[in-house]
Amino acid sequence: MSERELLKGSTDPLLLALLSERPMYGYEILREVERRSDGYFNMKEGTLYPALHRLERDGLVEGLWRNAPSGQYRRYYAISKRGLQRLEQRRREWFNFSRAVNLIIADSAS
Amino acid sequence: MPFPNSITAPIQALTIHALARLRARRSVLRELADHIEDRRDSLVHEQGLPPGEAYAAAVRAFGNPRAVATQLERIRNQGSWLDVALGAIPSLIVSFLFATHRWYEREWIIGAALLAMVISSLGVFLFSGRAWVYSWLSYALFPVLLVGVVSLATTGYAAWSVLEGSHVARDPASWVLSIGLGLAGVGVMITLLVWLSKKDWIHGMLVVLPITLLAVALLVFDQGAYDTITQAGTHNAILFGAFAFVVAATIRMGDRLLKIGVLATALPLAFLIISNGMDIGIRIAVTVLVSLPALLLIIAPLVVSIHDAEADERFEPDAQRQ
């Protein structure tokens, strides 16, 4: 599976995890994803915005126009209560999945 | 034989204008333009690029903004499955009332109307952007409209009696009350529909269509088009059951043109179900009544697009600035 495909399947939990820390706007999220993954993830706008709007439609995040620290008006996204519940569920799934994969891959390597 | 250009050209121009308005969600455009601006600023401050070059690079990095905007438009138009279920429920309740022949039992009607009023009020305050709210709102408003129309009709009849010199069994207070109720009921409806059409005319149509169908169903019944009350109940149960699916499909679809198609097609189909067994005079009356929302479907987006054209123009150059 390519890195792009891996990112596609992980976009929602990545966004929810970031937004669970604080509300952010689109460009800020892209920078944050890149910074926190040491440049490994280079999320494109064509992936980010549809994902954010889909999460908003499903009530997992809330979009709100407000002033950024720079004074510019930006559309911020904040995680909702349902979003936090979904994040918790995706976290559990991810830990179980990665643990199982690691067990097999690590075993085969040793 | 193809239509001459003189006919199709203005229609095409108006349609393109309307569609452009539908796609021009200013909030989305603004968000995407802000993104490009943020990237441009980063390139200027962090890499020292000149502003023009930085802007061009930011636009290139964005990819195809039209494709992203179209994708966002589809997502914003598409309701979740929960929205779909909530939107279909009120029509299914009405269908149930007809199917179980409870539609002429006062307590059931009042109970259903109260339920619609409570849920739509909560919906308007808590989830006003959701399409399902308007489906409930329609059934909540029907009694308001009914009271308004009946009050105005009885007032008109009483006024006619006065003019004809017949006996008038009304005191001044009842005149004031019936005129007040009539104007209030109809006024609330008109104000709300104008506001809804400006906000999102598909939501407006989700309010108009059930009201029209209910009004037509009652009119047809009143005209004695059915042989038995059971037949009327069954007929209308099918009608509102089918309409619940129409609402569900409309909420779930991402493409606004498809929504228009479904809503517009629902009207003649509903009429075909309703008009069976009616005399020709009533059929014409019903056709006119059912055609009104269809006409609104065509006119409303044009009105909205013309109204907002100036605002769009104010914003759009902003999105393309360097």
**ipTM for the whole complex:** 0.84
Binned at pLDDT 50, 70 and 90, residue B23 comes out as very low
Q: Are A45 and B32 a contacting pair at CB < 8 A?
A: yes
Lowest mean pLDDT among A46-55, B7-16, B104-113, B225-234: B7-16
Spatial separation of the C-alpha atoms in residues A70 and A107, rounded to whole Å? 50
**For the residues B243-270, what does the mean pLDDT come to?**
80
**For the residues A8-32, what does the mean pLDDT come to?**
91
Name which of B68, B78, B79 is nearest A49 (Cβ-Cβ): B68
Lowest mean pLDDT among B13-17, B129-133, B188-192, B264-268: B13-17
Lowest mean pLDDT among A48-62, B1-15, B100-114, B127-141: B1-15
B-chain residue closest to A44, CA distance: B62
Residues across chain B? 322
A-chain residue closest to B130, CA distance: A57
Q: Are B62 and A45 a contacting pair at CB < 8 A?
A: yes
CA dihedral B14, B16, B20, B23 (to 10 degrees): 120
- pLDDT at B210 exceeding the cut of 70: yes
- pLDDT at B259 exceeding the cut of 90: no
Name which of A45, A57, A58 is nearest B68 (Cβ-Cβ): A45
**Substitution target from B30, B31, B315 for chain A, most A beta carbons within 10 A:** B31
**Substitution target from B42, B59, B75, B132 for chain A, most A beta carbons within 10 A:** B75
Q: Which residues pair with A62 in a beta bridge?
A: A78
A61-67 and A73-79 beta bridge pairing: antiparallel
**For the residues B106-129, what does the mean pLDDT come to?**
86
Contact list, A73 vs chain B (CB under 8 Å): 34
**Substitution target from B35, B36, B60, B64 for chain A, most A beta carbons within 10 A:** B35
Q: What is the pLDDT of residue B178?
A: 77
Could you tell me which residue, B212 or B172, shows the higher pLDDT? B212
Helix-then-strand count for chain A, H and E: 4, 3
Binned at pLDDT 50, 70 and 90, residue B85 comes out as very high
Q: Do B241 and B95 meet the contact criterion of CB atoms below 8 Å apart? A: yes
The shortest C-alpha distance from A58 to chain B (Å) reads 6
Sequence-distant contacts of B264-273: CB under 8 A, at least 24 apart: B264/B294, B264/B297, B266/B209, B267/B209, B267/B291, B267/B293, B267/B294, B269/B242, B270/B213, B270/B216, B270/B239, B270/B242, B270/B243, B271/B216, B273/B235, B273/B238, B273/B239, B273/B242
Binned at pLDDT 50, 70 and 90, residue B150 comes out as confident
Q: CA distances (Å), B41 to each of A46, B36, B46, in order?
A: 20, 9, 8
Q: What is the pLDDT of residue B149?
A: 83
**For the residues B55-64, what does the mean pLDDT come to?**
84
Residue B254 CB contacts under 8 Å (≥ 6 apart), including other chains = B73, B74, B75, B77, B78
Spatial separation of the C-alpha atoms in residues B321 and B301, rounded to whole Å? 28
Name which of B63, B75, B76 is nearest A45 (Cβ-Cβ): B63
Could you tell me which residue, B25 or A30, shows the higher pLDDT? A30
Contact list, B75 vs chain A (CB under 8 Å): 50, 53-54, 57
DSSP element (H, E) containing B13: helix B5-23
Q: In 3D, which of B94, B319, B304 has the Cα closest to residue B214?
A: B94
Q: How many CA atoms lie within 13 A of A92 on its CB side?
A: 5
**For the residues A86-95, what does the mean pLDDT come to?**
93
Q: Are B72 and A53 a contacting pair at CB < 8 A?
A: yes
Q: In 3D, which of A19, A84, A78, A10 has the Cα closest to residue A47?
A: A10
Spatial separation of the C-alpha atoms in residues B289 and B267, rounded to whole Å? 10
A-chain residue closest to B27, CA distance: A75
Could you tell me which residue, B280 or B221, shows the higher pLDDT? B221
Q: What is the pLDDT of residue A109?
A: 66
Contact list, A74 vs chain B (CB under 8 Å): 34
Could you tell me which residue, B80 or B18, shows the higher pLDDT? B80
Q: What is the pLDDT of residue B73?
A: 76
The shortest C-alpha distance from A31 to chain B (Å) reads 10
A-chain residue closest to B71, CA distance: A50
Number of residue pairs across A and B with CB atoms under 8 Å?
54
**For the residues A9-24, what does the mean pLDDT come to?**
92
- pLDDT at B189 exceeding the cut of 90: no
Binned at pLDDT 50, 70 and 90, residue B200 comes out as confident
Contact list, B54 vs chain A (CB under 8 Å): none
Q: Under DSSP, is residue B25 helix (H, G, I), strand (E, B) or coil? A: coil
Give B254's DSSP letter: S
Contact list, B38 vs chain A (CB under 8 Å): 26-28
> How many other C-beta atoms are found inside a 10 Å radius of the C-beta of residue B223?
14
Residue B170 CB contacts under 8 Å (≥ 6 apart), including other chains = B158
B55: tokens are 């802007």
- pLDDT at B12 exceeding the cut of 50: no
Binned at pLDDT 50, 70 and 90, residue B30 comes out as confident
The shortest C-alpha distance from B161 to chain A (Å) reads 56
Spatial separation of the C-alpha atoms in residues B64 and B60, rounded to whole Å? 8
Binned at pLDDT 50, 70 and 90, residue A61 comes out as very high
Give percent of chain B with pLDDT exceeding 90: 11
Name the average pLDDT for chain B.
76
Name which of B35, B79, B80 is nearest A45 (Cβ-Cβ): B35
Contact list, B61 vs chain A (CB under 8 Å): 45
Q: Are B34 and A27 a contacting pair at CB < 8 A?
A: yes
Q: What is the pLDDT of residue B312?
A: 42
**For the residues B232-257, what does the mean pLDDT come to?**
86
